[in-house]
Amino acid sequence: MTALIDLRSDTVTLPSPEMRRAMADAELGDDVYGEDPTVNRLQDLAAEMLGKEAGLFVTSGTMGNLVSLLAHAPRGTKVILGDEAHIFRYEQGGAAVVGGLVYQTIPTNPYGDLPIERLRQAVQRRDDAHEAAPGVLCLENTHNRCGGTVLSLDYIRQARQIAVEQDVPLHLDGARLPNAAVALGVSLREVAAPFDSVQVDLSKGLAAPVGGVVVGSREFIKQAHRARKLLGGGMRQAGVIAAAGIIALEQMVERLAEDHQHARILAGGLAELPDVVLDLGTVQTNLIVFRLNPDRWSPSRFITAMREQGVLLGGSGYNQLRFATHYGITRADIERTLLACKNVLAPRY
């Protein structure tokens, strides 16, 4: 019996042998006292690689986004973000629940950017007692529900300009920022530069078992650190997991190119099969988001049929399906996945 090929998410990645060794050997202390040398090293490394003053280790991408929003925006102000943003769709409205913030969504373009004019209107400060004031503007790069699409540096700079004009902080949900940097062929620092704060996940394509980092100015990180404690995110000998995060940043960024290549190969073959609706233009990194002809397939029937062929994939929004390529997936796995898709969608050929 061959093992299942798990393409549900890049979160299923297991730590590399180097990570496991680093975890076993990590120097530890109590991080609530700021005394875990490995956590401190990870935070400094992340800040350096992303070109910001300071960093903070967090338990997850969700916590990274939430502490950022809480640190930036006073109660009663608006979180302005896309209607397909992970923060809006998948994080339980945490900023409203915990921080008394109001979400204002903007329709998302198919490749994950938000129309610039809508963005300008949303962040406009008006002297009007009816309205909640803008608190923070959020972008997502790469964009999960749009299929791992990458925001251009030019677009990000335009958004930056608008945020600066209105004095509204700009936050990036950069859960997959390293994928964006590799796809653009630039450094992490360049993608992060226009943002006041960035959260980057270590446990997705970079394959660490747990956690993410938030980076920004020293003052911002001070506030984010307070918010992390409020949320119960003050971990003690957290260096055990931070050690894997260091390896993730040092060793696992460049190899994302391989995941992107695997995604292109898989998407190219998939798009040729009957009943598949897939815009290959969206396949810019490691995610493939597609639909099937709804007259012939429900997403759950396809997921079940693929499982019987030994391949796991997931849903991604209404009637959409998703494959995610990642560390541990080989070219042979991609060929096997394509064969499984053919067996399910075009059994006669």
Q: Rounded to an integer, what distance in angstroms lies between the CA atom of residue 188 and that of residue 18? A: 22
In the chain, what's the furthest Cα-to-Cα distance? 67
State which of residues 16, 60, 68, 285 lies at the interface with ligand TLP (CB under 6 A).
Answer: 60
Sheet holding 54-58, edge to edge: 54-58, 212-216, 197-201, 170-174, 134-140, 78-82, 102-106
Q: How far is the CB of 11 from ligand TLP (least distance, A)?
A: 5
Q: How far is the CB of 60 from ligand TLP (least distance, A)?
A: 3
Q: Is 197 in the site for ligand TLP (CB under 6 A)?
A: no
Q: Is 259 in the site for ligand TLP (CB under 6 A)?
A: no
Site string for ligand TLP, 199-218 (x = CB under 6 A): --x-x---------------
Residue with tokens 């307070």: 226
Q: Rounded to an integer, what distance in angstroms lies between the CA atom of residue 138 and that of residue 69? A: 9
Q: Is 104 in the site for ligand TLP (CB under 6 A)?
A: no
Residue type, 297: W
Could you tell me which stretch among 44-52, 59-67, 129-137, 297-305 binds ligand TLP (CB under 6 A)?
59-67
Q: Output 145 or 345, the one with its CB closest to ligand TLP.
A: 145
Q: Output 286 or 345, the one with its CB closest to ligand TLP.
A: 286
Residue type, 190: E
Q: Is 86 in the site for ligand TLP (CB under 6 A)?
A: yes
Residues 6+ apart with CB under 8 A from 155: 113, 116
**H helix runs in 231-297, sequence order:** 239-251, 256-271
Q: Is 93 in the site for ligand TLP (CB under 6 A)?
A: no
Q: Is 11 in the site for ligand TLP (CB under 6 A)?
A: yes
Q: Output 209 or 268, the one with its CB closest to ligand TLP.
A: 209
State which of residues 4, 34, 53, 90 lies at the interface with ligand TLP (CB under 6 A).
Answer: 90
Q: Rounded to an integer, what distance in angstroms lies between the CA atom of residue 79 and that of residue 65? A: 11
Residue with tokens 């997931």: 314
Residue pair 187/181 in contact (Cβ under 8 Å)? The answer is yes
Residue with tokens 């900023």: 95
Q: Output 27 or 90, the one with its CB closest to ligand TLP.
A: 90
Q: Output 73 or 202, the one with its CB closest to ligand TLP.
A: 202
List 200's β-bridge partners, or say none. Answer: 174, 213
Site residues for ligand TLP, 112-131, by CB under 6 A, read none
Q: Output 290 or 345, the one with its CB closest to ligand TLP.
A: 290
Residue pair 212/64 in contact (Cβ under 8 Å)? The answer is yes
Could you tell me which stretch among 54-62, 104-112, 163-171, 244-252 binds ligand TLP (CB under 6 A)?
54-62
H or E element: which one contains 322? Answer: strand 321-324
Q: Output 68 or 203, the one with its CB closest to ligand TLP.
A: 203
Chain length of the chain: 349
H or E element: which one contains 42? Answer: helix 37-50
Q: How far is the CB of 116 from ligand TLP (least distance, A)?
A: 21
State which of residues 84, 173, 259, 333 lies at the interface with ligand TLP (CB under 6 A).
Answer: 173
Backbone angles phi, psi at 5, to 5 degrees: -95, 115
Q: Is 140 in the site for ligand TLP (CB under 6 A)?
A: yes
Q: How far is the CB of 224 from ligand TLP (least distance, A)?
A: 15
Sign, CA dihedral 159-162-163-168, equals negative
Could you tell me which stretch among 56-64, 157-165, 252-260, 273-281 binds ligand TLP (CB under 6 A)?
56-64
Binding site for ligand TLP (CB under 6 A): 9, 11, 60-62, 86, 90, 140, 144, 173, 175, 201, 203
